[in-house]
Amino acid sequence: MKKLIYILLFLLILTSCKQLSTNPFYDIIKEYPHNSSLLNEYEKIYNETNNIVYAINKVNYPNFLTPNSSNYLSFKINNIQLVNTNYKLSKNYIPKTLVEITNVDYIKRTNVIMMIDQNTLNAYTLLFNESLLNNLNLIVFSSYRSYEYQESIYNKEENNFIAAPGASEHQTGLAIDISTKDTGLTEYFDNTPECIWLTNNAHKYGFIKRYPKDKEHITGYPHESWHYRYVGVEVAEIIYNNNLTLEEYFYQYIIL
């Protein structure tokens, strides 16, 4: 009798081990950094979403997609920088890749020097040339802004929503505000052919519409149809095709 119990017990252990090893979740999560004491929580979310990166991030960083005004330092993973109301740039962060926008066709005011990241300018040049072929009249209203400049407009503009110093993507040199001469940075831009074309084409050049409508609870910023952020074509395509924000891209594609 005792022998039989041992045999049964052995079989039970064997089948549960087999179950463990044939569950694809355990094979998949092995490839990713995780906390093994949280496996059950990861598995639950993985079963709901089939997205292992999302499952791990959701458990490890439950508040990541909730904007507030935390003072975490902005970070860069896979060469993509995240700047928002939670993750801020330091006062002395100045991109090393800044160049001047010298093509006066691109910019609204020619009496000020506008700086931008070199790769962003290269990508914008391609976008701009294509926009001309479509008879569109795009103008860059704003590009790189220093921490000090952001601080000065933040203190001045009490009624409008202006990003706090350190929380503006413009400090990266990778963000540009694009509109038309007539509409400027207002909601009147939203229904122009320029806005519609940008919405549908900017990703082909590596730009994303950074603060989309109905995603304010994730980005922490009100909808801005004119604010574009350069992330490179590969990432921009993923974000565009899956209707994500940059925050969601980090959450669903990159282990934080």
Known catalytic residues? 224
Look at phi and psi of residue 228 and say left if phi exceeds 0, alpha if psi is from -120 to 50, else beta: beta
Asked whether 148 and 180 are in contact (CB, 8 A), the reply is no
Residues 6+ apart with CB under 8 A from 124: 106, 116, 140, 176, 205, 207, 230
Tell whether residue 203 is a contact of Zn ion (CB under 5 A): no
> Smaller CB distance to Zn ion: residue 45 or 185?
185
- Closest approach of Zn ion to the CB of residue 225, in Å: 11
Range 167-186, binding Zn ion (CB under 5 A) = 177
Residue 81 CA neighbour count, 13 Å, CB half: 20
> Smaller CB distance to Zn ion: residue 59 or 218?
218
> Smaller CB distance to Zn ion: residue 117 or 177?
177
Q: CA dist 227 to 95, 147, 158, 199, 254, Å?
A: 19, 18, 20, 11, 24
Phi, psi of 66 (to 5 degrees): -105, 105
The residue range among 16-24, 46-54, 191-199, 227-235 that interacts with Zn ion, by the rule CB under 5 A, is 227-235
Whole-angstrom distance, CA of residue 67 vs CA of residue 54 = 18
**Among 58, 215, 227, 229, contact with Zn ion (rule: CB under 5 A):** 227
Query: Rounded to 5 degrees, what angle do the CA atoms 246, 248, 249 make?
Result: 60
> Smaller CB distance to Zn ion: residue 88 or 227?
227
- Closest approach of Zn ion to the CB of residue 176, in Å: 7
- Closest approach of Zn ion to the CB of residue 29, in Å: 38
- Closest approach of Zn ion to the CB of residue 21, in Å: 51
Catalog residues that contact Zn ion under the rule CB under 5 A: 177, 227
